[in-house]
Amino acid sequence: METYSIKNLTFTYPKQSIPALDNISLSINQGEFITICGKSGCGKSTFLRSLNLLETPTEGSIIFEGTDITDKKVKAEKEEVSGSYAVKDGTIMIARFAFEECESLTDITIPDSVTTINLQAFQNCKNLYSVKIGNSVEEIPELAFNRCESLSKLTIGNGVKIIGYDAFYHCDSLTSVVIPDSVTMIDVK
């Protein structure tokens, strides 16, 4: 079974004319072991960061277990998000900056289908006051809810094991937090 299918992946850093990744296509099957090697600066780390959407590719697609995780729908929808919002069931990953600066977002529910929330996914959602995280997310990464100044109520699902460094940095209104027994590490660096 094909786990990853990478098609025409291109990534260019801001203010750069030469792509760090240029038209990469590759399939990785379940159970397959691969090595990515090359000289310093050739794009190895950028490629890996693109696979988990810590970097958003300029072009191309990354299909993980049959789902195009580079689908721009979640990013495009953020402009329209307001009030109460439930992430679509079936979504598996919330990309870095996916909901950044959605100032009219007030509360969000993350379903059990989501397994990954990337860092800074909800950064600067200044009016976000309530978050409910489903049971499949294992880690709340650093700065995930950075500067969500109105966040006051947080419910963390039973799957979360790690709360990253400054995951709730400048969430000064946070007064109600339910941390399940599954959490084994709160990173304070």
Whole-angstrom distance, CA of residue 132 vs CA of residue 155: 5
- H helix or E strand, kind and range, residue 185: strand 185-186
Give me the pLDDT at residue 31, please: 83
Give me the pLDDT at residue 88, please: 79
Give me the pLDDT at residue 66, please: 79
Burial class (CB in 10 A: 0-12, 13-18, 19+), 153: middle
Give me the pLDDT at residue 97, please: 79
Give me the pLDDT at residue 157, please: 93
Give me the pLDDT at residue 80, please: 54
What are the per-10-residue average pLDDT scores of the chain (189 residues)?
A: 85 88 91 88 86 79 80 51 75 82 86 88 90 94 92 94 92 89 86
Give me the pLDDT at residue 72, please: 53
Q: Are 166 and 144 in contact (CB under 8 A)?
A: no
Whole-angstrom distance, CA of residue 90 vs CA of residue 176: 28
Whole-angstrom distance, CA of residue 148 vs CA of residue 97: 13
The radius of gyration of the chain's CA atoms, rounded to the nearest angstrom, is 17
Q: Are 8 and 54 in contact (CB under 8 A)?
A: no
Strands 21-29 and 67-68: unpaired
Give me the pLDDT at residue 10, please: 92
How many CB atoms within 10 Å of residue 167? 21
